[in-house]
Structure 1
């Protein structure tokens, strides 16, 4: 069993029994809008998530994530939701300030 908690969306919780699913797919399937300007292809950083807990619950960084980290476009505690999959365990994340949608109400 895996769980994603989106802290600044009122601790919205997503439970999943399917392992190795892309984080962005789990979020979208639960009805939450999550930005992805490049169509979930790893060509931008608009789907980045800030990881507060559970980095070890994710698959290894992809070449695209390493590329953006080398450009300082991703911090050590940030991952691309379209590139990483949730293996198991609990992942606590936040929507990055730069990627917030104006039509959603965020909590702090």
Structure 2
């Protein structure tokens, strides 16, 4: 069963019955605020997530993510949650400091 753990949101866990779902969809379906300025189209980096473990459980980076990597706007351990598909297993992530909402309480 695919699972997401958001470490700096007090280790919030999201379990999914279905595989092959976009990470941001799973996050939003679980009533968690997650930034996405471009409407989940991969046109910005506001939805980026820092992947702590489980990168191998995601699809390969697509052309949008590779574009931002070339511009140094995405590091090797970062992915766009709107372009990343959780195919299997567990994904441990955290919200990037720059993408934190002021109204959400974060842990560290």
Map 1:16-35; keep pairs closer than 5 Å. 16-35=16-35
The separation in 2 between residues aligned to 1:59 and 1:80, in whole angstroms, is 11
Count of aligned residue pairs for this structure pair:
108
Q: Which runs of 5+ in 2 are unaligned?
A: none
The separation in 1 between residues aligned to 2:61 and 2:18, in whole angstroms, is 20
The separation in 1 between residues aligned to 2:77 and 2:65, in whole angstroms, is 12
Residue 52 of structure 1: aligned partner: 52
What is the CA distance between 1:20 and its match in structure 2? Answer: 0.6
Q: Which runs of 5+ in 1 are unaligned?
A: none
RMSD over aligned Cα, in angstroms? 0.3
Structure-2-length-normalised TM-score: 0.99
Q: After TM superposition, where is structure 1 displaced by more than 2 Å over at least 4 residues in a row? A: none
